Amino acid sequence: MNDKAQLYTLEGLMAAVLITLTVLAVAQSSVVIIPQTDNFLEVQMKQKINDALVILDVTPDTTMEYNLTECVASWNTSTEASYGKDQLLALDKQLAIMLPDLMYNVEFAYVENSSVVVKNTVFNGAPTENSITANRLVALSNATVNSYGGTWMIPDDELKVIEVRLTAWHV
């Protein structure tokens, strides 16, 4: 009987076992790191636009002339922004200082006649797929609207809540 080839088969088997064991050992002992950098950049951007809205809201008059509530109150509700035609220049100007390397749009969302209305107030273009939105609520009273020259119709004994949505993206 010629059993010469059997040894080679066993060698092959053992080699296969060896390779498998090595791969297993490597896979078990190291944690596979998934790159998080992209994710982190998004967090950074979200944080920044959120900060911009918060700062606009809490800013004293000595630092910025118009705070978020004043900007919203001065809006003419019958207008809508389109490309190159902003409706709230003061808001746009102040956001441009805070977000110098971002493009952004601002929308107001509010309830009117039991339905939600969403309107552009600052429009710099169509957002890309990677855009991020931050929002903040503003409460308006009739007195505020009157003193800043907007056209909101609010009864004297009511408040109107407007959601300010700031959508930003990298160019």
Partner 1 sequence: MDDRGQVAFDFLLGMGLFLVAFIFTMQFVPGLFISDSTDETGIAFTAYRTATVLSEDPGWWDDSTKKGTDWEDHLSSSTRIGLAVDTIPKTRLTDTINLLSMDKSLKFMQLDEDTVVTKLGLYDNINGKHIRYGYNISINQDGNPILLNDTLFVRGEVNTDSVDVFKIERLALMETGTFVEYDAHSIYSNGTADTTEISINGSQKGKMVIDISNFTTTSPNSSFENISMDGTLLNVSTDYVVYLKNSSNGFENYSSPIMSNNTLRLEIYPMVFGNSGLVEIEFDNVTFVAGPAVEYTASKEPFYELAQMMVKVWK
Sheet of 160-170, strand order: 115-122, 102-112, 160-170, 132-140
Nearer residue to partner 1 within complex by CB, 3 or 156: 3
In the chain, helix, strand, coil percent, each to 5?
Answer: 40, 25, 35
Which residues contribute to the site for partner 1 (CB under 8 A)? 3-4, 7-8, 10-11, 14-15, 17-18, 21-22, 24-25, 28-29, 31, 33, 36, 40, 43-44, 47-48, 51-52, 54-55, 58-60, 62-65, 97-98
CB of 56 to partner 1, least distance (A): 10
CB of 21 to partner 1, least distance (A): 5
CB of 161 to partner 1, least distance (A): 18
Q: What angle do CA 157, 160, 161 make, to 5 degrees?
A: 145
